[in-house]
């Protein structure tokens, strides 16, 4: 994973092999506060992967549009181990599924902003910047029942 933080929070936390990871978003800083956010991120990711953390509290500093902020706030409210469809997300924020799909696709704070919890209306694992296999692994890690997915 690649992570960058500013004094306000995590700017980027994404899979380093992601093809379109934008380096221009990575305008972090060398501040002590930025380093503290990175340490907290590392601690929380370790706890998440160990099965001991269900909700991230590390501050984030996404440099995105107001629409993306609304879309991502919805993502952060999806509980661990649950999924929502793009249509549900769109309806909740007053948009359309294609627009929220684009907003979610621009999420470069992977796992912390859990866009892996959004699936197609039929349960299909459509789209994920980190790859469908990672999305599948993350949902299984969160114990999402297979009968609700992968149709």
Instruction: Give backbone dihedrals phi and psi of 130, rounded to 5 degrees, phi first.
Output: -85, 0
Residues 141 and 87: their CA atoms lie apart, in Å, by: 24
As a whole number of angstroms, the distance between CA 98 and CA 132 comes to 18
Task: List residues bridging with 2 in a β-sheet.
Answer: 14
Structure tokens at 84: 């929502």
Q: How far apart are CA 104 and CA 108, in angstroms?
A: 9
Is 115 noted as a catalytic residue in this protein?
yes
Segment holding 52, helix H or strand E:
none
CA 69 to CA 63: how far, in whole Å?
Answer: 9
Task: Give the number of other CB atoms < 10 A from CB of residue 136.
Answer: 17
Annotated catalytic residue: which of 3, 45, 112, 115?
A: 115
- As annotated, the active-site residues are 115
């Amino acid at each position: 994973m690649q992570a960058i933080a500013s004094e306000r929070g995590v700017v980027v936390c994404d899979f380093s092999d992601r093809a379109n990871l934008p380096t221009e978003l990575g305008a972090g800083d060398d501040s002590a506060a930025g380093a503290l956010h990175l340490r907290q991120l590392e601690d929380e990711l370790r706890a998440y992967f160990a099965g001991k953390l269900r909700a991230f509290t590390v501050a984030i500093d996404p440099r995105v549009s107001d629409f993306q902020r609304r879309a991502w706030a919805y993502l952060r409210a999806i509980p661990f181990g649950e999924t929502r469809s793009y249509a549900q997300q769109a309806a909740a924020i007053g948009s359309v599924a294609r627009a929220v799909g684009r907003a979610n696709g621009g999420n470069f704070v992977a796992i912390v902003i859990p866009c892996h919890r959004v699936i197609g209306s039929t349960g299909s694992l459509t789209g994920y910047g980190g790859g469908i296999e990672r999305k599948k692994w993350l949902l299984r890690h969160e114990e999402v029942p297979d009968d609700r997915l992968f149709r």
